[in-house]
Structure 1
Amino acid sequence: MLDRRQFAATAFAVAGLALQSRVARAGMMALDPGYGPLQSDPAGLIDLPPGFSYKVVSELGQAMDDGHRVPDRADGMGCFRLDGGRIALVRNHELQPKHLATGPFAAGTPAPAEAFDRIGDAALPGGTTTLLLDPDTLTVEKQYLSLVGTIRNCAGGVTPWNSWLSCEENVDGPSEGVGRDHGWVFDVPADADGLAPAEPLKAMGRFNHEAAAIDPRTGIVYMTEDRDDSLFYRFLPDDPGSLRKGGRLQVLAFHDKWLRDSRNWAGQKMAAGSWHFARWIDLDNPESPADDLRARGAKKGAAVFARGEGIHWGRDELYFTCTSGGRAQQGQIMRYRPSRHEGKDREQREPGRLQLFLESTDPAHYSYGDNLTVAPNGHLFVCEDQYTPTVTNHLRGVTPFGEVYPFAFIRIQTEPAGVCFAPDGRTMFLNLYSPAKTIAIRGPF
């Protein structure tokens, strides 16, 4: 079961639980916080609640409009509104040098000039593809490669200037047989008509990047790191909206200096539902040739997290997953509320706060949450990514009270990823990692 103390995070949540308790005592069935029981998919791909349906809009090996093919390992993804009423999906592909055969190029294809890195004449296969769709019919009007030559583009985040921050979950360099250092964030415009310049945003740090979220009010970028001893980062841009102009990289620590480890692996150091005031520590040398940002940050007092992964901005706060956090190591969700003076001198007198919003102790309810998004109704949708020999991955819904429910069950042996909503909220898009498929889901959201 989930730790029900977390539901006491707000008075409204407590009231909701009290109502459920009264219903249970009366012998009545408590209301389902989700959309109803999942219905078996005759095609054997994904089970959804009543009234919902899906359409496969793109899949591995399809010919794209630039002459290349849809790559495998579809991961993080963002959706954007374009001029003329169309929408764009920018989709990561978590490919490594060993995956050239399932990348976008046929054997022997020379690397395009825009490729960030290559081995011999071949571009490294990681990067992004972009799909242009009609928002009503969901017809793909065009799909093409928009970033290439990178490694393990895992997740990322949308920007207020209509681009996708694609993040490398890899810190290989020339000593590992590639041509350049990796571990960067790349800014891919949603309306780029072809390959975007592969320019790494080095001031945002070189580490095992996972995802990014931007506060649209301040332009501050928050980033997660997929390591067992990961940190939680923020980037204060010198010029909000122009990340290439540089800025300051910082890591989160707690004002309660006794609290340094949020993972709860050795006991409940961080109580579910509890809020803690944050402070931020500057990091120098963000290009980190030794891949030591997390070690240097922890030495200065930064808080440690259990594999920070998906992150998404809500109305006035953000959520991020810690995939293996908690005493049962089944996963946590953190919630961060910035200060009214975030990134300014007055922040010290009125700091932001971080909460352990959810911690699972039962894999049947929530297990290894990875990518996530905030739905228009305020619910979270979290992609599970289990590491058992046979996976039972779900797309989980989480209410503002912290109640968890199954929204979808993945019938094939892969993970859901890249969950996001169209700008009008009518359509959810979701990737099935491998063999790669991108699906569009509609129903009574």
Structure 2
Amino acid sequence: MNRRTLLRATVVGGGTAAFAGGLWQQAFAAPAQPGAGPYGPLGAPDANGLQLPAGFTSRVVARSLRRVAGTRYSWHPAPDGGACFPDGAGWIYVSNSEVPIVGGASAVRFDATGKITSAYRILGNTMVNCAGGATPWGTWLSCEEYDLGLVYETDPYGARSAQRRPAMGRFTHEAAACDPVRKVVYLTEDESDGCFYRFRPNTWGDLSAGVLEVMVGSGPGAVEWRRVPSPEVWLTPTRDQVSGALRFQGGEGCYYAEGVCYFTTKGDNRVWAYDAEQGMLSLAYDDDLVPAGAAPLTGVDNVTGAASGDLYVAEDGGNMEINLITPDGTVAPFSRLNGHDESEITGPAFSPDGTRLYFSSQRGASGFVAGTDGVTYEVTGPFRR
């Protein structure tokens, strides 16, 4: 029995609990399957090479090593994880830079009409800042992706200096998502045998001290959490310090909504759903559980969500798409970027009003590994809200 057949027998046959939480308005027992998306088919490529459904348009916001339009600030190379923050009647888009030595993160400020008013650095001189996550108190957690990587808490508005948060562990950090109900921060780890963590700060809103825990269990189903003994200074990596820690094949994006934390693993093209209230882990999507050769979503990476309950999952490779997973369990392409075959889609994030989606092509059309050809886009249209 091959992996596809075994997984289908286990998951569809009842080995996985149905999903809960407000994001999945209709619980279902099986992972998402291909189908028609809510916006219809993709159109022909536009002037920016993007294929979008009818009614949606795109513009280029920034290009790596070039000045952001209307500013004197040069956009960083290799744009990666990102998030949006309200700014009066306007908003700010924050983006990491996944390069060594200088790393860090930058921000672009927009007014109420969407006009760019400024761009600036909010973090520098860090290592391969990959993804991260926004906090409920308006900061951006920028995560370093290497063995001794740290989480940096940054100010999207550029008024305060970034702060190291070593209590959140030293490991190959990828993404973060805050759960304000349980007052924890979930963390993914980009290792082939990585783990899924949560950080419990001593005081919610202050990430300077707390307890790092790792998910323990045997796979989809009931899971629990155990304390990592030495998260900051270690001879044994954090993922190997707790017996029974669940292993995941390359943790990537992480997104929380209404009691459920969704995270992706690139090694097996899966989107996971952790029901925090029930303590249950399920599969929201697995490319081995769709008809052979018909998987619309491969190379799963960054993930975000809309108020409608739709998940938006970006591809690292694949055919450079962002795919939707709808609350009724349908997965379908929302956008496709042409001519960037050696790149990856990164940093999807919605403006606060849900009308604009931001994301980047990390290495652009050239595919140059240093990311000096990166491009950051904005898509505007009738998003479901």
Q: Give the TM-score normalised by the residue count of structure 2.
A: 0.85
Shift of 1:34: 3.1
Question: Identity percentage over the alignment?
Answer: 34
Say which of 158, 171, 174 aligns to 1:207: 171
Shift of 1:15: 11
Is 1:184 equivalent to 2:113 in the alignment?
no
Distance 2:90 2:360 in 1: 20
Structure whose alpha-carbon radius of gyration is higher: 1
Structure 1: gaps of 5 or more residues = 21-29, 97-123, 172-181, 263-269, 271-275, 326-330, 340-350
Say which of 365, 368, 372 aligns to 2:296: 365
In structure 2, the residue matched to 1:314 is 257
1:10-21 to 2 correspondences below 5 Å: 12=26
Shift of 1:333: 0.8
- Shift in CA distance, 337/13, structure 1 to aligned 2, threshold 3 Å: closer
Structure 2: gaps of 5 or more residues = 20-24, 364-372
Choose between structure 1 and 2: higher helix proportion.
Answer: 1
Distance 1:14 1:238 in 2: 36
Two-structure CA RMSD over aligned residues (Å): 2.6
In structure 1, the residue matched to 2:370 is none
Q: What are the superposed Cα offsets for residues 276-318 of structure 1, whole Å, 9 maximum, x if unpaired?
A: 1221111112113436111113xx1111111111000112211
In structure 1, the residue matched to 2:311 is 380
* Contact persistence 1:183–1:207 (CA under 8 A): yes
Distance 1:366 1:41 in 2: 19
Is 1:428 equivalent to 2:366 in the alignment?
no
Distance 2:297 2:117 in 1: 37
Is 1:237 equivalent to 2:187 in the alignment?
no
Is 1:43 equivalent to 2:47 in the alignment?
yes
Q: What are the superposed Cα offsets for residues 185-205 of structure 1, whole Å, 9 maximum, x if unpaired?
A: 001112224xx5343201100
- Shift in CA distance, 185/8, structure 1 to aligned 2, threshold 3 Å: closer
- Give the match's secondary structure for 2:241: helix
In structure 1, the residue matched to 2:369 is none
* Contact persistence 1:57–1:139 (CA under 8 A): no
- Give the match's secondary structure for 2:157: coil
In structure 1, the residue matched to 2:86 is 81
Distance 1:443 1:155 in 2: 25
- Match for 2:130: what amino acid? C
* Contact persistence 2:48–2:60 (CA under 8 A): no
* Contact persistence 1:225–1:307 (CA under 8 A): yes
* Contact persistence 2:274–2:281 (CA under 8 A): yes
- Match for 2:326: what amino acid? T
* Contact persistence 1:66–1:144 (CA under 8 A): no
* Contact persistence 1:34–1:407 (CA under 8 A): no
- Give the match's secondary structure for 1:161: coil
Distance 1:88 1:147 in 2: 15
Distance 1:188 1:372 in 2: 20
Shift of 1:431: 1.3
Shift of 1:14: 5.5
Choose between structure 1 and 2: higher strand proportion.
Answer: 2
Is 1:140 equivalent to 2:140 in the alignment?
no
* Contact persistence 2:198–2:213 (CA under 8 A): yes
Shift of 1:424: 1.0
* Contact persistence 1:207–1:291 (CA under 8 A): no
- Give the match's secondary structure for 1:167: strand
Distance 1:443 1:360 in 2: 28
- Shift in CA distance, 47/281, structure 1 to aligned 2, threshold 3 Å: same
Q: What are the superposed Cα offsets for residues 406-439 of structure 1, whole Å, 9 maximum, x if unpaired?
A: 0011112221110011111111111111222221
In structure 2, the residue matched to 1:55 is 59
Q: Give the TM-score normalised by the residue count of structure 1.
A: 0.74
- Shift in CA distance, 383/76, structure 1 to aligned 2, threshold 3 Å: same
In structure 2, the residue matched to 1:113 is none
- Shift in CA distance, 381/14, structure 1 to aligned 2, threshold 3 Å: closer
Distance 1:429 1:221 in 2: 23
* Contact persistence 1:218–1:240 (CA under 8 A): no
Query: Which of structures 1 and 2 has the larger relative contact order (alpha carbons within 8 angstroms, sep 6+)?
Result: 2
Distance 2:182 2:326 in 1: 27
- Shift in CA distance, 251/363, structure 1 to aligned 2, threshold 3 Å: farther
- Shift in CA distance, 192/218, structure 1 to aligned 2, threshold 3 Å: farther
Say which of 382, 395, 409 aligns to 2:336: 409
